[in-house]
A and B are shown apart, each in its own frame.
Chain A
Amino acid sequence: MANNLDTSSVTFVACQECDLLHRHATLPPKGVARCVRCGAFLYRQAPSDSNERALALALTACILFVIANIYPIFGLEVQGTHTSTTLFGAVESLWDDNSRAVATLVFFTTIFVPAAELIGLTWVLVVLRSGSQGWGAVPILHFIERVKPWGMVEVFLLGVLVSLVKLAHIAIIEPGMALFTFGALMVFIAASAASFDADAAWVQLEAVN
């Protein structure tokens, strides 16, 4: 039986964690298919408007990203002296402080990867929406898939909260615009990634190309 698989008429899904082959079945709305052997996520039945929603969320996240990076995260008031910093300013301080490896790591995980992921996802969604062949959608999706684990906005936000508490002992803290924007950004990045229906995107890209 297993040797007579006809991949042209039936769609198969391989479990990415244990390599068990499953027949692609139609799921109820919002249904999720899991591997029968190891329990890994296989695929889901995304709502038909999920990529529209992902586009709206990604565009919002892009705007929030700009705001979060322009305004200071928070300010400090110590004996009349006021200091504040943006995320990029913090990376620059580290760089000037000769901690270049750490500065690069912070830049990569909190600025470069989230920005590239957001811009890339927005571009792919615009291409899909237009229904055209679009430039670069396939390599961009590859790239997003690859760098995804390295975007760490939510960890960064927890780091900001820890430093807030540490500094509250020695100084007066003035929360900045970016502090709240980062919180919102974290939610919107997660929401747009969760809405994005990658399976549908691949099928559509295949049909167009």
Chain B
Amino acid sequence: MNPAPITARIGLLACEVCRLVSRAPSTGDVAHCPRCGAALHTRKPASLVRTWAFLIAAMILYVPANVLPIMDTSSLFGTQNDTILSGIAFLWTSGSYVLAMVVFFASVLVPLLKMIALAILAGSVQMGSVRYRRTRTRLYRLIEFAGRWSMLDIYVVTILVALVQVSTLASIHAGPGAAAFGAVVVLTMFSATSFDPRLIWDTQEEAS
């Protein structure tokens, strides 16, 4: 098979904003898209370093996000500190199985799998792997799409705090875990946008 025309290899640059393909300038200056003016890069700058930095920060914060309470409830029956997992356990034991699974999926599984997937993507690129390129590209697409759903519990806490805080029956406050959890979601999203999926295919070009 003929080597495929890879944009970067034949001296062209694709704009990441308006997608116009233009000629790379011969000088070493920073190129700008002739149509929309966005900065042009062959690959996202320092892609792997940035991906790892955000990812490691997210992994560290994943611990307090799950250990610390995201919600403190005090009522006539005493005070209760809910972590994400105990909140899911409560939903399950009170019979809301579907909801318990939705929350478990969005709050526990999605961020965990996303971090593992990002580590696999960044690690495999770093090692120059040429295997499962199409599957890895698909994995990246999935990560970008699914990551936002982890924000679910943050919204639940927001609404509960607002509604129950003023009531006489109970009071609910956001716990320190909520900030950690929000940070995990934001950091994994930054990590995913820093990763450049084109790197997955660059390794193949050198190998073949």
Contacts and interface: CB of A to CB of B under 8 A. Distances in A.
Interface residues of B, number: 72
B35 A83 contact: no
A101 B182 CA distance: 8
B162 A102 contact: no
Contacts of B103: 162
B157 interface: yes
A78 interface: yes
Nearest to A4: B10
B151 A20 contact: no
B131 interface: no
B165 interface: yes
Interface in B162-191: 162-170, 173-174, 178-179, 182-183, 186, 189
B14 A40 contact: no
Interface in B117-144: 133-134, 137-138, 140-141, 144
A73 B162 CA distance: 11
Contact of A158 (B102, B141, B163): B102
B89 interface: no
Given A85-B163, A94-B174, A142-B36, A106 B155 contact: yes
B80 interface: no
Interface string B177-208: 01100110010010001000110111000000
Interface of B: 2-8, 10, 12, 14, 16-23, 35-38, 91, 94, 96, 99, 102-103, 106, 133-134, 137-138, 140-141, 144, 148-149, 151-170, 173-174, 178-179, 182-183, 186, 189, 193, 197-198, 200-202
